[in-house]
Structure 1
Amino acid sequence: MERTYVCIDLKSFYASVECVDRGLDPLTANLVVADPDRTEKTICLAITPSMKALGLSSRCRVFEIPACVEYVMARPRMQRYMEVSADIYSVYLRYVSPEDIHPYSIDECFIDATPYLSLYQVNAKEFAIMLMEAVLAETGVRATAGIGPNLFLAKVALDITAKHADDCIGFLDRAEFERTIQTHRPITDIWNIGPGIAKRLAKYGVRDLRGVCEMSEAVLYREFGVNAEYLIDHAHGVEPCTIADIHAYEPSAHSLMNGQVLPCDYTYDEAKDVLKEMVDQLVLDLVDKGLVADSVSLYVGYAKERGADVGAQEEPDAYFDGGHGRRPASGRRGGPHTGGTRRQPDRTNLYSKLMPRFLDLFEETARKDVPIRRINVGFGGVMPEEFATMDLFTDAAAEAEERNLQKAVLAVKGKFGKNALLRGTSLKEKATARERNEQIGGHHA
């Protein structure tokens, strides 16, 4: 039986929430969500449709907004957005079983509408309108929707077709996809095709999905490896994965990651202090989840060369905007970075073992002559704590005592807040842990 999927996206979600909370109309008010305490180079997390109508990108920088435009700047409130997102999810649950919903992001979800069309005696469009109107009535947030016989077509209908529909609902079946989307350009408008993939396809003169269909599969597999399978399927409008498949998926390997962009240029020693804070938090996450890891990884990104003006205005076509942030149209330039991954001699979650290994990796790979702007740390091969390595030389009592101490730290933080108990490193001027403990996703809670 052919299935029917609906992909619903909340329109300018963060900005809409801020407008509703202020009694403003999200469609007509000029509002941007950005931190006023940061410089004018800061990126807006969201802008209202009226601001987009001025030609601004959904993730523009504050300095790109014309001086003649009057607007409200709202400080990001991630906790508030999560609460509203949860409220909206609860609205969906009045109509749909959780087994038929896949939350794709804080403001977007997929719904398998197949069994509900007969239940509510509606067609797919009427079903989408029913959900969208319920969300609008209860939260004041408007939505757009895409409808299709598989997850991919529903998503593309949302991203491309819905934008041109008066009712903000797009529909694609295989025939309509072949007629309108296979020749659509730029190809980067298509879900999961970014500037990097587009650039590699352009080497073969391919600039749309029809061109992908006409390419030799052998060439595609040589260029993209196993990922060519997804590209080939999507070029033909095929997506065999279902929401049930997503819910049943179990990854073969697990990892824990933590990363941050530093607020300014950091010296080698200042960055090492931040690294210590990050490793400390990530080790506590391991203990809290009852996990151990068998490898550590580190990424250190450096400041751009001084000749480049990162605040300069670029040509309008120099960027790709996929709706979730801007990227260079020619693909991301990784920038100077160092680091690596090291396999551990044991599987552990002990701070006394893991911190020296990260510091050794940092000291071996990080540069001292270039300012540091980004640090990522991670654990690989994560598995349950019962798989921790033990040998004849293991002091089981000492390890148990250290884990109990780590659990005590977690208990204090859980009861009194993350900043209730800190290492001395976090009291240094360039430390970031205290501020980040009060944030969600790097933004004000």
Structure 2
Amino acid sequence: MGKENLTSRTSVRYNKTMAAEKERNYICIDLKSFYASVECVERGLDVMTTRLVVADPERSDKTICLAVSPALKALGIPGRCRVFEIPKGIDYIMAPPRMQKYLDYSAEVYAIYLKYISKDDIHVYSVDEAFMDVTEYLSLYHMTARELGQTIIDDIFATLGLRATCGIGTNLFLTKVALDITAKHSPDFIGELDEKSYRETLWEHRPLTDFWRVGPGISKRLATYGMMTMKDIAHGNEDLLYKLFGVNAELLIDHAWGRESTTIADIRNYSSQSRSLTQGQVLMKDYSFEEGLVIAKEMMDVMCLDMVDKELVSKSFTLSVGYAKNTPVPGVHGSFSLDTETNASFILIPEIAKLYSQLVNKDYLIRRMYIVSNNVVPEEFMQYSFFVSPEDIERDKKVQKAVLEIKNKFGKNAILKGLNFEPGATTRDRNNQIGGHKA
């Protein structure tokens, strides 16, 4: 079937959707400079006037700032700069990250959302951002979407002292664009778009990377063919777009016209056909081959505990290793497979060590490492191997469950292995972190 017919199907789909369904109203609320705001609130300071960055002072000045307050952004400091990029003449507070504190605040914000909107109509997009389908609530509260959004962000500020911005739209794409672009130029930090106003106000907007899901790579490829704006894409050669982006061109074209058919109900009902678990870390320094082997073993040990805790097993595992900066060769990537699914550490740790030794060049330093447990399935699907005693499998599982019980009761560092004390080991430090930063 040709692309012309596919485009026709898209148009028919939208016409049917618009005719059959009530127009929906969405809001998306974003907590302004969230981590920096929490640190200012905790210190009794105003985030709009306080010069503050969230960064770990124990790391080098090359560490990335997790958040920058609006007062510093007003001086031209980008939101994700490195500490050394902040001009020396600027006085500011450096707040060490407290990830658990931020999660606690995020939970309190979510509790405020639940005062107004059912959890079934909320999609938490990130720790500081959430979409809400408010279609059925506007008549209930006798409010417009703008009034409801304002009420919620006022409640957040009154309750927690956190400032927020709000995007409003007739679909999820327009809501996100209203938040990311329109709200920034609104005196009340609320942006509102429908398909008509989107085309009237943002079709000529540049750069394209300001729009949701348009990254630098996509923007650069479009620019090569003279497409610099959403209007250019909307009126562009569709055959060319499909040639450049494949099936993803349909989404790009839809967004260029301000269309998006996915709803929060669709997101909540989505179920992936396959599942995987991942362990990964960017190391604090360049590691030798031997130190990297310790990391690989530690990460697989943590992966095994995670699988036992979730009652999952797998028979396929992938290792990816990235070398240090300026290494003349790319990183390496490989997998191993077993005859049956397992989560037994006495099987998987030696296997990952073997794969690591096969893949990694001993002459190069290491900076990144990821382990993926592919296509995990529930334990009840596991079959015993002809090559491993069932008694050994059960013994390992009992030990792992005992370890989990101790860690859950007394803390992750309450019980450790000798492996965790070898040179280069990171598990002890990572047990006190959330998302790679201090808890």
The TM-score range, normalised by the shorter chain, is: over 0.9
| Residue of structure 1 in register with 2:56 after alignment | 35
Establish whether residue 437 from structure 1 lines up as the match of residue 435 from structure 2.
no
Q: Structure 1 CA distance, aligned partners of 2:283 and 2:111? A: 36
Name the SS for the 1:156 alignment partner. Answer: helix
What is the aligned counterpart of 2:153 among 132, 137, 161?
132
Q: Structure 2 CA distance, aligned partners of 1:214 and 1:342? A: 48
Shift of residue 198 of structure 1?
Answer: 1.3
Q: 1:306 to 1:280 in 2, by over 3 A?
A: closer
Establish whether residue 378 from structure 1 lines up as the match of residue 372 from structure 2.
yes
Between 194-203 and 110-119, report the one with greater CA deviation. 194-203
Shift of residue 391 of structure 1?
Answer: 4.9
What is the aligned counterpart of 2:395 among 384, 401, 407?
401
| Residue of structure 1 in register with 2:338 after alignment | 344
CA RMSD of aligned residues (A): 1.4
Tell me the alpha carbon deviations over residues 399-429 of structure 1, each in whole angstroms, 9 at most, x when there is no partner. 1121111111111111111111111111123
Between 210-219 and 105-114, report the one with greater CA deviation. 210-219
More helix by share: 2
Structure 2 contact 339–385 (Cα < 8 Å) conserved: no
Tell me the alpha carbon deviations over residues 366-425 of structure 1, each in whole angstroms, 9 at most, x when there is no partner. 121111001111100111011113355552222112111111111111111111111111
Establish whether residue 115 from structure 1 lines up as the match of residue 109 from structure 2.
no
Shift of residue 180 of structure 1?
Answer: 2.1
Between 179-188 and 340-349, report the one with greater CA deviation. 340-349
What is the aligned counterpart of 2:382 among 388, 394, 402?
388
Q: Which has the higher contact order (CA 8 A, sep 6+)?
A: 1
Shift of residue 56 of structure 1?
Answer: 0.7
TM-score normalized by the length of structure 1: 0.91
Q: Structure 2 CA distance, aligned partners of 1:227 and 1:138? A: 42
Q: Structure 1 CA distance, aligned partners of 2:92 and 2:262? A: 43
Structure 1 contact 157–170 (Cα < 8 Å) conserved: yes
Between 284-293 and 364-373, report the one with greater CA deviation. 364-373
| Residue of structure 1 in register with 2:169 after alignment | 148
Establish whether residue 427 from structure 1 lines up as the match of residue 421 from structure 2.
yes
Q: Give aligned-pair identity as a percent.
A: 52
Unaligned residue ranges in structure 2 (runs of 5+): 1-21
Q: How does 1:11-410 map to 2 (within 5 A)?
A: 11-305=32-326, 336-392=330-386, 394-410=388-404
Letter in 2 for 1:7: C
Structure 1 contact 154–171 (Cα < 8 Å) conserved: yes
Letter in 1 for 2:340: D
Name the SS for the 2:246 alignment partner. Answer: helix
Name the SS for the 1:94 alignment partner. Answer: helix
Unaligned residue ranges in structure 1 (runs of 5+): 308-334
Structure 1 contact 40–62 (Cα < 8 Å) conserved: yes
Tell me the alpha carbon deviations over residues 25-70 of structure 1, each in whole angstroms, 9 at most, x when there is no partner. 1110111101111111111100110000000100111111111211
Between 389-398 and 271-280, report the one with greater CA deviation. 389-398
Tell me the alpha carbon deviations over residues 296-351 of structure 1, each in whole angstroms, 9 at most, x when there is no partner. 111111111179xxxxxxxxxxxxxxxxxxxxxxxxxxx83111233432211111
Kindly tell me the number of residue pairs found equivalent between the two proteins.
418
Q: 1:393 to 1:208 in 2, by over 3 A?
A: same
Letter in 2 for 1:60: C
Structure 2 contact 327–364 (Cα < 8 Å) conserved: no
Name the SS for the 1:430 alignment partner. Answer: coil
Q: 1:391 to 1:262 in 2, by over 3 A?
A: closer
